[in-house]
Amino acid sequence: MNDYMNGSALQGIRVLDLGQMVAAPFCTSIMADMGADVLKIEAPAGDISRNSMPKVDGISTYFVTFNRSKRGITLNLKSDKGKEVLKKLIKEADVLVENFRPGVMKRLGFDYESVSAVNPRIVYASISGYGQKGKYADRACFDPIAQAISGLESVTGPADGGPIRCGASIADIMAGQNALIGILAALRYREISGRGQYIDCSLVDACIVSLASMNQIYNSTGKIPTRRGNTFEATAPGNTYETKDGIISISAGQTREWPKFARCIGHPEWIEDERFVSVDRRVINRILLDSLIEEETRKYTTADLMDILLEYGLPAAPIYSIKDVTEDEHFAGERMMFVDVEHPELGRVKITGQGIKMSETNPYVRSCSPLLGQDNADVLNELGYTAEEIEDMKQNGVV
């Protein structure tokens, strides 16, 4: 085992993942990478994300990404036998995570009250669109909807254009991370109190928190933040600028960075220019300043300009494509942000790695996602079911 694969912070923690699509599976995939025994529980038809693009030879690599490092079983929770099996699993579990619409788990008989009656120590996390209570709780919600109603889309896009959704499913990802934070805190509290608890996270809440700096502008001044393209509300300069051969992002609006930037771009006189002498003045005169800066950046190739900016220690970056990121040695090599897993049918599949680095118990991708029902026999055998009983469950659509 090398330094990258050096421990299991959550070894011994048993997690039941009843999630689908992204938010809950992403949350539990981090726990699985941290060494928890995560059991992916799917209906016999499978998680709907098994049909999500992209696919290779008809198999969803989207599913592979969000369900790595887990074991997997199928279970019909509408059947009495399926409910019996889940209750047995609950008795031995530390954590249950689900992201059904509010009310679904209650109708199945597995809401928090019912589950905690079986296992009072369980930590139960629900991830939904709007939360479990309130007038919006029953509304359908996916990531783009959360971005829209949270205000995130209202501040995303060009200043002279309409609202734009962030290209990635960040509401799902942030909600999954919030759930994980709650779960880890609840497990720590359980060590003290002996009691589990219920965690309620929503996609919209996650987006609202991500907008804390924007929210504060309105809360403090009454001014409604609007779309600003790639500029910042609080400082200037900070934008994307054309070069001879591409586009570069520069953030040099802070007090420490501004004088260095003015010198490196060849205009030290800007430092004392009344139009740009303070953050306030630079923000007011942002359009003029950006036009002057771009006159200079167009004189350089992106690579040459990056060399100059980095020499001055300034925050700057080329606009990478996804291909550029996956092939950059820092991210793909040093940071291990892209890893290969061995799929039993596809062979080697590259997926996004783990963004958390730890010195003693580093999380890492431990295995590929399970095939549908891959661990049915093993898990049911662990629960004490005989081979004949397992076969009977299979024939009757329980698994």
> Which residues are annotated as catalytic?
172
Cα 42 to Cα 39, 82, 88, 202, 298, distances in angstroms? 10, 11, 16, 22, 54
Angstrom distance (rounded) from CA 224 to CA 216: 10
Angstrom distance (rounded) from CA 302 to CA 317: 9
What sign has the CA pseudo-torsion 132, 137, 143, 147?
negative
- Asked whether the beta carbons of 352 and 68 are under 8 A apart, the reply is no
> β-strand 37-42 against 71-74: which pairing, if any?
parallel
Cα 59 to Cα 44, 50, 371, 384, distances in angstroms? 17, 7, 10, 32
Angstrom distance (rounded) from CA 295 to CA 43: 59
**Triad 304, 310, 315: Cα angle to 5°:** 115
Estimate to the nearest angstrom the gap between the alpha carbon of 246 and the chain centroid. 29
Angstrom distance (rounded) from CA 77 to CA 60: 24
317-340: burial string, b at 16+ Cβ within 10 Å, e else: ebeeeeeeeeeeeebbeeebbbbe
Which among 312, 300, 319, 295 is positioned nearest to 257, based on CA atoms?
Answer: 312
Task: Report the SS3 class of residue 81.
Answer: helix
